[in-house]
């Protein structure tokens, strides 16, 4: 069994253990109003959005929130603990990164798993809101798990291209830039929120995590579709598609950092 096989076996055993632990840890949750408006209000409180400020992303966010709300409802009723769902989401991101790194033929599966991991990211928070289990620990743990998941989702494509390209350094450079820009954006936002900057809660930048997940997921699906044709086009899609996606992520993350820094420079009356 090779290194990738050993990693896959480890992920499989870890996944079984996590699912068993999650199922065993179910506890009855307090009855809550299942209506979407009640969930929306709880979501705002859980994300520390100050009163009087609009939802980040406006109608786009409101439309998206209905998806994790619908998925989380039965899980909340079953008493599933949100902190363990966060661990499940992190495991799914690790599996997505590992799947991509298996080889070009696995790119489409990895892309689909990447998008699924992005969906799972919102379910744990929705369960916490619906079951009234939002906590400081959950808030911090979810952020830490998201950053680890970000690295896994970037690491898979980087490993794949590096193993198949004649020169691995462009892929490594693009992946490093994408990971650094994403981490820096999240750090700048966290510091801006700690400083009380209103835009830190309401400003939707082009480098937000859902955008990053969608870019990587779609890139995987595109590379996978090109693999169906085989030959030179498939190789070209692999060697150009993922590096282009990673470079795009780096640019979007940098743009988001600039937006937040410019917002921090404005006088308080203008924010």
Burial 73-94 (b: 16+ CB within 10 A, else e): bebbbeebbbbbbbbbbbbbbb
Q: Give the rounded percent of residues in the chain with a pLDDT score beyond 70.
A: 90
Output the pLDDT for position 82: 92
Query: What does pTM read for this prediction?
Result: 0.91
88 vs 241: CA distance, rounded Å: 29
CATH architecture of 29-270: Up-down Bundle (1.20)
- Between 254 and 54, name the one with better pLDDT: 254
Is a pLDDT exceeding 60 seen at residue 57? no
């Amino acid at each position: 069994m090779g290194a990738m096989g050993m990693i896959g076996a480890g992920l499989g055993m870890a996944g079984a253990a996590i699912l068993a632990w999650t199922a065993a840890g179910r506890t009855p949750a307090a009855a809550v109003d299942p209506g979407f408006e009640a969930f929306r209000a709880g979501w705002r409180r859980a994300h520390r959005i100050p009163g009087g400020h609009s939802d980040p992303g406006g109608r786009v966010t409101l439309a998206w929130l209905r998806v994790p709300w619908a998925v989380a409802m039965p899980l909340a009723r079953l008493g599933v603990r949100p902190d363990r769902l966060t661990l499940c989401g992190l495991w799914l991101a690790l599996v997505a990164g590992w799947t991509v790194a298996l080889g070009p033929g696995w790119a489409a599966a990895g892309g689909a798993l990447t998008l699924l991991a992005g969906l799972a990211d919102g379910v744990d928070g929705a369960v916490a809101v619906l079951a009234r289990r939002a906590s400081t620990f959950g808030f911090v743990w979810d952020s830490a798990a998201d950053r680890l998941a970000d690295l896994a989702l970037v690491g898979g494509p980087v490993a794949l291209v590096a193993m198949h390209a004649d020169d691995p350094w462009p892929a490594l450079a693009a992946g490093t830039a994408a990971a650094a820009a994403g981490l820096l954006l999240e750090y700048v936002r966290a510091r801006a929120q700690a400083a009380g900057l209103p835009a830190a809660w309401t400003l939707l930048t082009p480098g937000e995590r859902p955008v990053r997940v969608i870019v990587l997921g779609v890139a995987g699906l595109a590379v996978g579709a090109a693999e169906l044709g085989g030959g030179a086009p498939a190789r070209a899609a692999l060697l150009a598609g993922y590096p282009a996606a990673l470079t795009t992520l780096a640019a979007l993350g940098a743009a988001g950092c600039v937006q937040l820094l410019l917002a921090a420079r404005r006088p308080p009356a203008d924010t």
